Amino acid sequence: MAEPSSPLVFPESPGLSDRVPATPVSAARNGSARRPRQSPSAGSSGHSTPILPGTPGFGNRTPNYFKFTGGRAREAEPQAEGAPVEDPGSKTYVWGTNISIDDTREAMHLFFERFRESPEAVEAKYIQLLDQVIELEGRSLNIDAQNIFAYNEELYSQVVRYPLEVIPLFDMVVGDIARERRPDWNNHIQARIFNLKLSTNLRDLNPSDIEKLVSVKGMIIRCSSVIPEIKEAFFQCLMCGHFPEVTPVDRGRVNEPSKCANPACSAVNSMTMIHNRCTFTDKQIVRLQETPDAIPEGETPHTVSLLMHDKLVDAAKPGDRVEVTGVFRAMAVRVGPNQRTLKSLYKTYIDCLHVKKADKSRMQMHGGVEFDNNEIFLETDTSPAVYEAKINKLKELSKLPDIYQKLTRSLAPSIWELEDIKKGLLCQLFGGSTKKLSSGASFRGDINVLLVGDPGTSKSQLLQYVHKIAPRGIYTSGRGSSAVGLTAYVTKDPETRETVLESGALVLSDQGICCIDEFDKMSENARSMLHEVMEQQTVSVAKAGIIATLNARTSVLACANPSGSRYNARLSVIDNIQLPPTLLSRFDLIYLVLDKPDEQTDRRLARHLVALHYEDPEVELLEALDLPTIAAYITYARQRIHPKLSNEAAERLIEGYVNMRRRGNFPGSRKKVITATPRQLESLIRISEALARMRFSETVDECDTVEALRLLDVALQQSATDHSTGIIDMDLITTGVSASERTRRENVVSSVKVFIMDRIQAGASLRITELFEDIRANVNQEMSLQDLKTALNTLMTEGFVSVLGDNVARS
């Protein structure tokens, strides 16, 4: 079958037998091999059935081999599956190269029979896998290209360079081995090679990749309908009804018998194809687009078409992020049908061998899926070595003594100050661990955070940032989202009239963080939905006859303006927030983001802004971790670290909780301040766990609980609140105070304490101004009256002194 378009009889074929180039990629090969092998040249065969052509793909692999006998190239018969024609004395080569078919098959056999992942393994890995395939009547065997590389580098490079010739060999070898293991085995098993050493950027594909094995990552954006393609044609004679054996499709073409094979009939041109008895395979065209993170700024994403066969059809849906391995191919474009001239354009696509669904950019909570080599679509993302190195880097990071500070600094570095809030958000990102009791009750590990504060205090920016690094983060504005927008929505599919549940933000962010901006603008209805989500972690939908309970194991990060749009210092905290206490108590951390005068902070802000406008702002951010690192760090911690409460920590927690309860016990204060409830105790546990996770520590230590108590305290400005009235003393707000400033204040407190111990007898009292003068004169420390007042307040909560009007008394 020497058709003129076949590269096999290309007139310029260099003398292959003696001029095999050292580098197998020769220009001649490239030039000719790129021509369409399957162009059904007009009039070349009158009996070709016109409906049959198709691009040769891995659906029907029929490679081209050459057999050299005496230096003259002659085409070998297309190899029947598993039964290569052996012609003793001659050697078969992959066309245009010095790759011997026999040697390659030998290498493959060895690979299958000998390759073991660890020296201790009793049986060869792929023999084991193949047995499984046979057992399950499977049709494909996944082969890790990294394994091939580890066993035989040459074989690996052959597969990558000449996949069209070498992969069918793999199929044959697999078939041979399968028959060895089970003689009655009669099915074709496809070798699906995946996990190439190099994954090509979709953007970087170029003509030199044509007909090479490539691996690209991207997002599926369009799937065509399934295209049936004929594999075996069934003919029957119209005259006598005789039918011969099914005719296999050879490179997209079927040879229609011109004469009835029944000697009694022998009618000419009487054979007709019976569609119902032909065998077909599925094909599908899928469009793959670059993932957003691979696109350089200011460019549009590139796309590439994928050709899927058989089992790969519908394996991935639009929106899935996948990594595909396949052969990059080009197909000529013709000017008008049936014309001999070709347009100079080629259409490219990837003939897919293997599809791997990957979702690397977002973190998975529950340790991901187990590594299962023979399942087509689930594999780990990276090679173990790279993964190991990454983990080690993260572990090293976790050993840094200042990792907590470092993480805090790296969170939204463009936002100035608000350190404690950032710490709270970090806790939310890390999360506590979910506990499931044997009784079936479960305690959520998600930490919910509410930010309440004046407009223009960068709340929204913080939200945006969290949304960026959060796993499955969803960002929504309370103003725009109705109850259904947040939860779930029942629609009718316009085409099928099926009722479909469309997930809302909360369901979509299952196992992630749902960021809700303008929480106060949200309708009462929508907010009431949150009650269920935030404690039971489910959403119930009862609509159109569907009653569904959907999982919504999500952390909520909400931000709201105070009820009067600005914080009113004359009102109590509760009056300012104006949210129902039932909802409020479901938030673990409620931050009042209040602005308060502090010259030091102002100065730093001013310097920061001037630098922003005039200098290279990069310099300032040097010390921060970059976004992918933080994301990876958080992912690892959430997956692998499940800290347990130590005894000391537990005691410390109890003590702290009892103190909190006591503080809220002023007569009549119940309505004015947020009193501690058992929910707060749970919050404390979660926050402590999150803090331990940040250190990659398996136990929650005392230091974690101390910090957790402090965070909870700072969040609501507890230390600054007058508990009898619920009013915050604006001078005492600590949010946004930097660590160094805090240390300074602590020093002031301790030195004031020492001073008071010295000067004031128990029960005696002194005017504050006098005390101030006294300290100023005697203590070698910079201190303002304000500092003193702050210190006294702290001491008061400790019960060390009492302040009555202008007088300080030691109790």
Partner 1 sequence: MVAPAVDLLRNPLGAVRGLFSIAAMVASPAPAATLELSGGDWGIKGVFDKFLYEEGAIAQVPHIDDLAHDSIPSGSLVRFRGMIQDMFDVEYYVGAYKDCNTWQTNKYTDSPVPQDTEQQIWDRRLFYCVPIPGENQWMKNTWHSNAVQPDATSQSLKRKREDIPATVEIYDGNDADLKLNDIAEFVGIVWKESELVSISASDSSALAESLMEDDTSLQLPSSTVPRLHCITMRKLSAYSIPSQPGALADICSVRESLVCTLQSVLGEDRLAAEYLLLHLLSKVYSRVEPLAVGKFSLNFSGCQAGADGSVSLVASAVGHAISVLLPCSQVVPLSLEDLNSCLIAPRKDYATNRLVTGGLQLASGTHLTLDETALNTGRLNETGVKNLQSLKSVMESQKVDYDFQYYQMEMPTDLPVLVVSCGKSRILPADALVPLRCSAEAARIHAEASDLSKWRIYLSSAREADHVIEPSMQKIVEEDLVAARQKDRTVGSETFHRWLTMARLLSLSYGERSLTRERWEMMKELEMRCAARLRETTT
Enumerate residues 452-491 that contact partner 1 by CB under 8 A: 456, 461, 464, 480
Q: Which stretch binds partner 1 (CB under 8 A): 47-55, 160-168, 181-189, 378-386?
A: 47-55
- For the CB of residue 14, give the shortest distance to partner 1 in the complex, in Å: 8
- For the CB of residue 49, give the shortest distance to partner 1 in the complex, in Å: 12
85 touches 75 (CB < 8 A): no
CA–CA–CA angle 395, 401, 404 (5° rounding): 80
417 touches 606 (CB < 8 A): no
Q: Give the orientation angle of helix 125-135 with respect to helix 101-114, to 10 degrees.
A: 90
- For the CB of residue 19, give the shortest distance to partner 1 in the complex, in Å: 11
Considering the complex, state which of residue 446 and residue 598 has its C-beta at the smaller distance from partner 1. Answer: 598
- For the CB of residue 610, give the shortest distance to partner 1 in the complex, in Å: 6
Q: According to CB under 8 A, which one of 8, 54, 516, 567 is a site residue for partner 1?
A: 54
Bridge partners (DSSP) of residue 450 are 558, 590
Closest of 572, 636, 617, 269 to residue 430, by C-alpha: 636
String of contacts with partner 1 for each residue 222-241, x by CB under 8 A = x-x--x-x------------
Interacting residues with partner 1 between 604 and 643 (CB under 8 A): 605-607, 609-610, 612-614, 617
550 touches 541 (CB < 8 A): yes
305 binding partner 1? (CB under 8 A)? yes
AA letter at 438 = S
Distance from the Cα of residue 615 to its chain's centroid: 36
Interacting residues with partner 1 between 712 and 751 (CB under 8 A): none
Q: Give the orientation angle of helix 403-410 with respect to helix 678-694, to 10 degrees.
A: 100
Q: Which stretch binds partner 1 (CB under 8 A): 112-120, 284-292, 350-358, 788-796?
A: 284-292
Q: Give the orientation angle of helix 419-430 with respect to helix 678-694, to 10 degrees.
A: 90
95 binding partner 1? (CB under 8 A)? no
Considering the complex, state which of residue 244 and residue 301 has its C-beta at the smaller distance from partner 1. Answer: 301
289 touches 221 (CB < 8 A): yes
Q: According to CB under 8 A, which one of 307, 488, 660, 727 is a site residue for partner 1?
A: 307
- For the CB of residue 2, give the shortest distance to partner 1 in the complex, in Å: 14
Q: Which stretch binds partner 1 (CB under 8 A): 164-172, 219-227, 383-391, 688-696?
A: 219-227
Interacting residues with partner 1 between 1 and 30 (CB under 8 A): 4-5, 10, 12, 14, 21, 26-28, 30
Interacting residues with partner 1 between 60 and 89 (CB under 8 A): none
Q: According to CB under 8 A, which one of 61, 283, 354, 422 is a site residue for partner 1?
A: 283
CA–CA–CA angle 174, 179, 181 (5° rounding): 95
AA letter at 372 = D
- For the CB of residue 606, give the shortest distance to partner 1 in the complex, in Å: 4
CA–CA–CA angle 217, 218, 222 (5° rounding): 140
236 touches 255 (CB < 8 A): no
Q: Which DSSP string corresponds to 530-569?
A: HHHHHHH-EEEEEETTEEEEEE---EEEEEE--TTSS--T
Interacting residues with partner 1 between 329 and 368 (CB under 8 A): 330-337, 340-349
- The DSSP call for residue 77 is P
Distance CA 417, CA 423 (A): 11
205 binding partner 1? (CB under 8 A)? yes
Distance CA 445, CA 786 (A): 40
317 binding partner 1? (CB under 8 A)? no
299 binding partner 1? (CB under 8 A)? yes
Q: According to CB under 8 A, which one of 17, 24, 34, 248 is a site residue for partner 1?
A: 34
Is residue 736 classed exposed, middle or buried when 0-12, 13-18 and 19+ CB atoms within 10 A define those classes?
buried
Considering the complex, state which of residue 308 and residue 552 has its C-beta at the smaller distance from partner 1. Answer: 308
Size of the site for partner 1 (CB under 8 A): 88
- For the CB of residue 226, give the shortest distance to partner 1 in the complex, in Å: 11
- For the CB of residue 60, give the shortest distance to partner 1 in the complex, in Å: 12
Distance from the Cα of residue 531 to its chain's centroid: 29
580 binding partner 1? (CB under 8 A)? no
